Amino acid sequence: MDLKNLTSSSIRNVIVNEQMTASEVLDKFIIKIKQSAEKNNTFISTRLEEAKSEATKIDRKLAEGNSLGVLAGVPIAIKDNIVIRNERTTCASKMLSNYKSPYNATVIDKIIQADGLIVGKTNMDEFAMGSTNRTSFYGPVRNPVYPGKVPGGRSGGSAAAVAAGEVMLALGTDTGGSVRQPAAFCGVVGYKPSYGMISRYGVVSMANTFDTVGILSRNVLDATLLYSVLAGPDKADATTVLDNPCELPEWHSKRETMELKGLKFCVPEFVMKDTKDAIIDLGFEKIIEMLKAQGATVDVVKLDALEYGIETYHILANGEISANMSRFDGLRYGYRTEDYLTIDEMYIKSRSEGFGEEVKRRIMVGAYILSLDMVEDYFVKAQKVRKLIINSFVNAFNEYDAVIMPTSPELPFSIESERKPVDIYLSDRYTVPASLAGIPAISIPVKNNDDVFGLQIMMSYGEDNRLLHLSYSLEEVFNSGL
């Protein structure tokens, strides 16, 4: 049986209806992993034997007449900054190259409880810092859709694994676009939930007020399924906001689309004026016309505060990064240099040798921002601008159902290209506003002739299910291309 066009729910049904066993399904994906994972450098580590054992347990569970979880037999990859008990979590860094966690992240426990099959830990930018997936200690991830191009960062390994057909679903983390941007570059769905919907317990922190566990999938239906498993309260994470576990919405099982007629969309004016890749510019214009043809309203509006999103994000995120990274000192855990005479020398050399260039840059910038002389001029002012950005979204959603824009202003560029860090940071300028506001945002792939780019859709805080429903409906409209 060809599994290429099946959804995750369909794979579970194939197993429940005894058309294939979970072990047989897994074997097909293992073949694909062995064919392409090394070439694309998608995984830092795999756990194929463990996954085989878990698939056998699922088959036995079904044979004994027990019901299966909603992710039964679905192969899933995990970004390597999310911990799994007694297995390596490296964050793609020399600093944690031999670290093994003594516990599971909450999201891992939920996937296991739903009978999902975790096949490995995916490559990423070191400590989730970068926008190309070229800062990994384990080498760059290669884009399976655009050979020779970057897959996007920081969850590039997860996006590439889904795009290559190595897994059905993958977890990433989205701090400023880390799920959405690689999804756009690899032609898959990338979903960042509202902040606090999914527990961050067991996720290695980059910037605490931004970090969100995100989902990469082949389609919106699969993203919705995994979100329903992961979202909910967690006593181990005080930032979770839901009182009850999430339920799979009715439209998912019925495959009901949302009526687009009468919906109101807005596009920030600065996006329309911004310099974008010509293919994206033309494709986005076609999207606007298609929405209007469906009876929706699309207005270009001034959301001026969003223009300062990239500067605001890097001030605040780097400040949080410098504080978070202080825990990696070579003493409590992580890499420790062998060449030192004093404790100070041990700290300095361990961090100098254990961290890559981009991580060091972020730590230094963050430490400067938080210094006594600069904190008022930078960090405090950036917090005020963040509030203005939140208010801009609140005002927009008082009148409009959703804000739309391209996920990235550019298509993936050469993996060999040399760019200044600032130029790379600017590629996130369309994704960071949603992260600053903590609102749900999704990137869905749109085909324009032979190229694929990402359409980003954002909704008001907490409207995750409605955003997923709308995204599924738009996915159906755009499936045949522009």
Cβ atoms of 453 and 406 closer than 8 Å:
yes
Distance CA 375, CA 439 (A): 26
pLDDT at 332: 84
pLDDT at 37: 98
pLDDT at 449: 86
Residues 6+ apart with CB under 8 A from 424: 130, 131, 132
Name the nearest CA neighbour of 226 among 198, 186, 250, 201. Answer: 198
Cβ atoms of 190 and 452 closer than 8 Å:
no
Q: What is the mean pLDDT of residues 109-138?
A: 98
Provide the Cα torsion 98, 117, 441, 162; round to 10°: 80
How many CB atoms are located within 10 Å of the residue 88 CB? 17
pLDDT at 333: 82
Distance CA 417, CA 48 (A): 34
Cis check for the bond before 134: say yes or no (omega within 30 of 0): no
Q: What is the mean pLDDT of residues 91-105?
A: 98
Cβ atoms of 144 and 119 closer than 8 Å:
no
Residue 481 has pLDDT above 80, yes or no: no
Residue 270 has pLDDT above 90, yes or no: yes
pLDDT at 482: 80
Residue 398 has pLDDT above 80, yes or no: yes
Is this prediction's pTM over 0.85? yes
Q: Where in the chain are the domains?
A: 8-254
Q: What is the mean pLDDT of residues 331-354?
A: 95
Q: Which residue is associated with the tokens 């979903």? A: 191
Residue 260: pLDDT band (50, 70, 90) is: very high
pLDDT at 2: 83
Q: What is the mean pLDDT of residues 415-429?
A: 93
- Could you tell me what percent of the chain has a pLDDT over 70? 100
- For residue 172, what are the β-bridge partners? 214
Q: What is the mean pLDDT of residues 361-367?
A: 98
pLDDT at 388: 99
CATH topology of domain 8-254: Amidase signature (AS) enzymes (3.90.1300)
Distance CA 390, CA 405 (A): 17
Residue 31 has pLDDT above 90, yes or no: yes
Residue 70: pLDDT band (50, 70, 90) is: very high
Residue 480 has pLDDT above 80, yes or no: no
Q: What is the mean pLDDT of residues 65-70?
A: 98
Residue 48: pLDDT band (50, 70, 90) is: very high
CA distances from 354 to 269, 321, 338, 359, 455 (A): 43, 16, 12, 10, 37
How many CB atoms are located within 10 Å of the residue 183 CB? 38
**147-168, pLDDT tens digit by residue?**
999 999 999 999 999 999 999 9
Distance CA 330, CA 213 (A): 27
pLDDT at 46: 99
pLDDT at 49: 99
Reading the block at residue 292, the tokens are: 């209007």
Distance CA 206, CA 185 (A): 22
**425-453, pLDDT tens digit by residue?**
999 999 999 999 999 999 999 998 889 99
